[in-house]
Structures are given as C-alpha cells and as structure tokens.
Amino acid sequence: MLLKWLSLAFVLINTVSSIALKEAREEFSAIDTQYKGVAAAYKDALQNCKRAQEKAKAEAPIQDDNGNDTPLKAQLDELAVETLSEALLALEDAMKKIDSIVADNNAIREFERNKAVLENVQAQLDDLVSFEERRRHELEAKVTPWETKLSQAVAKVDAFFGLYMGEMGCTGTSQIQSLSLPTCHFSRLT
C-alpha cells in the first residue's frame, strides 16, 4: 500500500510539476514576446531620434564646417531648459510666436517694387557697359591707323626740321606726345 501511495504521490508531483513547467513556459513566452515588442519599439524610437537629429543638424546646425559654434548654439545655451517638459513648453511658446507673425503686405509690395527698380537699373547699367565696350573698340579701330600715319608724318617733319635747322647751323627735333584714350570702368552691382 505504501507503494501505491508513493506511486500516487509521484504521479501527483509529476502532474503538478508538468503544469508548473507549462505555466512557466507560457509566462516566459509572454515575457519574451513582450520583450521583443519593447526591443522593436526601442529600435524604432532610436532610429526616429537619429533621423530627427540629422534633420535638425541639416536645418539648424549648431556648428559650422570648421567645428566652430554658430550663433544658434549660443542662443540654445542661453535657454533655461533642462527637462523634456520645459523644452516642450519652450517649443510651444516659440510656435505661438511664429504663428503670430503676420505678413506685412505693404512691406512685401515695397520690396517687390524696389527689386523691380534694381533689376531695371542693373539692365541699364549692363547696356551702358556693353555700349561703352563697343564704342571703345570702334574708337581704337579708328585711332590705331590714324596714330600710325601721324607718327610717320611726325618722323618726316622731324627729319625735314632737322635738315632745316642744320642749314641754319642749329640742331633741333620735333616730337608729338602720344594720345591715350580716356579710361572709364563700369562693373555690375552686387
């Protein structure tokens, strides 16, 4: 009979341990599934943070290409924000300020008018520069042959003047100063 009781106790222990093992496995499986979900959510959040950081660096860099701090960095350092909730409140205040900015139609019209005037003046200046260059080339084309003929004539006059002065027992030369074209320089407005 003892054997029967021992056998029955062994079956009960075996059954209870099987049930406990099954429950432990189910609990482990649930925890493992939960862990995998949390790990995937963490990985997604980390990737989102990296993308947001890259976008922030591209749109509002706090250092230039040489590694020097930009004025934006100084402004960020001045902010008295240490927690996420404080940062969110500061962001909300900044967004309210941005939303409150209203376009001044008069200023826009004035800017557009001034821009059109400047473009017109720039076109006129470009035309004048082009005209001046054409005229200079035309003048140089006319002056070069004339100057050559004048130099030849002066050389002949100098030779005859030298002979004439020699006949009188004197010496002398005749010279003409070379002509130079006036120079005017124009450039594009920047």
Q: What is the pLDDT along the chain (190 residues), one digit of tens a residue?
A: 666 777 777 777 778 778 887 888 888 888 889 888 888 989 998 898 889 888 888 888 888 888 888 888 888 778 777 788 888 888 888 888 888 887 788 888 999 999 999 999 999 999 998 998 999 888 888 878 887 887 788 788 888 888 888 888 888 777 766 555 555 444 445 4
Q: What is each CA distance from 90 to 52, 59, 77, 85, 95, in whole angstroms?
A: 18, 19, 13, 9, 9
Contact 63, 70 (CB under 8 A): yes
CA distances from 82 to 75, 85, 86, 90 (A): 14, 9, 7, 11
14 in a domain, yes or no? yes
Q: What is the pTM of this model?
A: 0.36
In a domain, 94, yes or no: no
pLDDT, residue 180, reads: 57
Evaluate whether residue 13 is within a structural domain.
yes
pLDDT given at position 121: 93
Say which amino acid occupies 15. Answer: T
Position 1 in a domain: yes
Residue 39 forms part of a structural domain: yes
Q: Distance (Å, rounded) from C-alpha 89 to C-alpha 145?
A: 81
Contact 69, 63 (CB under 8 A): yes
Name the domain count of the chain. Answer: 1
Which range of residues forms the domain containing residue 4? Answer: 1-61
Query: Rounded to whole angstroms, how far apart are CA atoms 154 and 162?
Result: 12
Token pair of 5, please?
């009781």
Q: Residue 8 corresponds to which tokens in the numbers above?
A: 């029955």
| Residue 116 within a domain | no
User: Does residue 172 lie within any of the structural domains?
Assistant: no
Question: Six-digit token pair at 164?
Answer: 């004439």
In a domain, 43, yes or no: yes
Radius of gyration of the chain (CA): 48
